[in-house]
Chain A
Amino acid sequence: MARIELKNIAKSYGTVEVLRNIDLDIQDGEFVVLVGPSGCGKSTLLRMIAGLEPITSGAFEIDGKRMNDVRPRDRDIAMVFQSYALYPHMDVARNMGFSMEIRRDAAEMRKSRVAEAGKTLGLSKLLRRLPKELSGGQRQRVAMGRAIIRDPRAFLFDEPLSNLDAALRVEMRLEIARLHQKLKATMIYVTHDQVEALTLADRIVVLDSGDIQQVGSPLDLYERPANKFVAQFIGSPTMNVVPVSAASGGVILADGTFLALPHLDDTGLAVELGIRPEHIDVVDPDADALAAVADVVEHLGSDTNIYALVEGLGPIMVRVHGNIPAKPGDRLGLRIQAPNAHVFSADGRTLQRDMTGAA
């Protein structure tokens, strides 16, 4: 098991800088998820940790030892690839036992470890099959089996679930969570799916265009996003952001409504207000609230999503718990839960909230 430290890591291809100032201290046994839109550098960072991509500058350490120039085979890290990368000419058992074959471990030991991993992952009956005879989910399991068999210091996952269908993705997500509980190993997981990030991570690292935007626990990022990018990236459905003008003790919305934000120290620099769809209450259309008309209504059973058009403000999305009888064209009153609102300055930073503030 291992503690992994990245100190001021940067990566450039020629003159193009793809990652800069990456500082990250990953504790032994921690599950860290790197998340961000495509092209943010998250996969590159993972490949640098694996040793498949040279590190341009900075220090990469495992358990305090500098590993920048150590070959992948000597880092003792296992990786699960997005494409699975199973060896097509080897059967499942040989695929899983390949790392032990390379290390020249005793054949009996290899056999028993393969059998054990096969049992853990429900592959016992498929050990003699070739990869092409397996379904997508089974291939994914073999890829995971190949990683766990050798008991590495750390696991890397590169978008391992993105080729699976939705139901299988949920199942495998649980499987990975269980695996982490069982092995208690350091795991670094790359995804562009914020749901995977929120459900799996001890800590999430949000990356955008080569910079770390924020590092924190899933709830931290949800409740206290450091900037507008994180606020909109984490959470589903996406946070509503509307322009506002600053006022003393609160902000003024575009339709002239004053919204008191007593929990914020200073709203003087506010230019935008962010509010999550689940933090807006639907009230009587004649009440003292934002006047809106429902545009599209999605009934999900457990929740109702309403895409509303607010007078003088534009489109706002609202998520109400439970099933409410709204239809397109209905008049609605919307009331923002002020304590859950975020305000952003012109450069996208979140203006500091009072730490005692309600969540």
Chain B
Amino acid sequence: MGFSQLKRPALVVGKYAAIVFYLVFALFPLYWLVKIAVTPDRLIYTDGTRLWPSEFTLSNFVAVLFQTDFLSYFSNSLIVSLGTAALTTLFAAGAGYAFSRFDFGGKKLIIAIMLITQMFPLLMIIAPIYKIIAGLGLLNSLTSLIIVYTAFNIPFATFLMQSFFDGIPKDLEEAAMMDGCSRFEALRKVILPLTLPGLGATLGFVFTAAWSELLFALMLISKNDTMTFPVGLLTFVSKFSVDWGQMMAAGVLALIPSCLFFIFIQRYLVQGLTSGAVKG
């Protein structure tokens, strides 16, 4: 804490008040999700807007886990998200490295085209994508989702990775090459370890994007055994009623992998790995 902050308590209070306000604003929906999930079904409406249910229950969780297809949705989502994250990061790292380090014909054109793909509203291309996937015979397969998600995430992930590579001094690779490395060895032994924060961020970003995607999953998957979690969630809405308690419990469970993932990668995100490489 800086000296000037100590001298102005009003400023400190104001700063924390702003942070608290923001956190309450952002986290309240999550709190409500948890609250409904632990409220017995019969009390959802009678309890109204009470901040904590008059009766606590885990029965919604039990029901979701053992009486619905939630586990199947969950594992489908996990396969799709991990697959997409891994594939996208692999391609994005390669492309980002090339954009960052090499000059080649058509580089600007390729970057422009990649940017253009990010400008279309997804709704416009849903029909053609459906047609293509159907033609490939991949409807109702997890593979189709991985392919589509990977294709859509690569441009942004590439730009992300490129900026991380740009942040690593070229001198390091050149020093490695002078030390006897081939370019690939230099990449593997020197650059890659320094890019871990970047890889972590990209993996996390793509994973969450794939984890919560609904539109394509809804369109390309219609069979229950290949449904991903966001689509599966809709099955809690039946023609005559909505099973709020179970739906919220499922939502809470779905948050777990995202949280775990970010806890796992956050230490890479905050580390200043390249400090000390060059002067300063």
A residues in contact (CB < 8 Å) with B: 50-52, 71-73, 77-79, 81-89, 98-99, 102-103, 130-134, 136, 139, 146, 150, 163
Contact = CB atoms under 8 A, between A and B. Distances in A.
Q: 4 tightest CB-CB pairs across the interface, nearest first?
A: A132-B276, A83-B278, A85-B171, A131-B276
B278 to A, nearest CB: 4
A52 B279 contact: no
A86 B276 contact: yes
Q: Chain A CB within 10 Å — which of B169, B172, B179, B273 has the most?
A: B179
Interface residues of B, number: 24
Nearest to A131: B276
Interface of B: 169, 171-172, 174-182, 185, 189-190, 193-194, 273-279
A2 to B, nearest CB: 15
Given A84-B278, A89-B194, A73 B180 contact: yes
B191 to A, nearest CB: 10
Contact of A81 (B174, B182, B273): B174
Nearest to A89: B193
Given A81-B171, A81-B175, A88 B181 contact: no
A83 B169 contact: yes
A71 B189 CA distance: 18
B105 to A, nearest CB: 13
B278 A85 contact: yes
A134 B276 contact: yes
Given A81-B175, A83-B171, A85-B169, A102 B276 contact: no
B276 A88 contact: yes
Contact of B181 (A79, A84, A102): A102
A85 B168 CA distance: 10
Interface centre among A82, A85, A136, A150 (most CB of B within 10 A): A85
Contacts of B179: 73, 98-99, 102, 146, 150
A130 B178 contact: no
Contact of A136 (B180, B185, B273, B279): B279
Contacts of B172: 85, 87-88
Contacts of A163: 279
Contacts of A103: 180
A79 B180 contact: no
Q: By CB atoms of chain B within 10 A, which of A79, A99, A102, A150 has the most?
A: A102
A86 B168 CA distance: 12
B178 A87 contact: no
B171 A88 contact: no
Contact of A85 (B174, B193, B275): B174
Nearest to B275: A132
Contacts of A139: 276, 279
A131 B169 CA distance: 15
A284 to B, nearest CB: 52
24 contacts: A72-B174, A72-B178, A73-B180, A73-B181, A73-B182, A82-B171, A83-B169, A83-B278, A84-B278, A84-B279, A85-B169, A85-B171, A85-B174, A86-B175, A86-B276, A87-B190, A88-B194, A89-B273, A98-B179, A102-B180, A130-B276, A134-B276, A139-B279, A146-B175
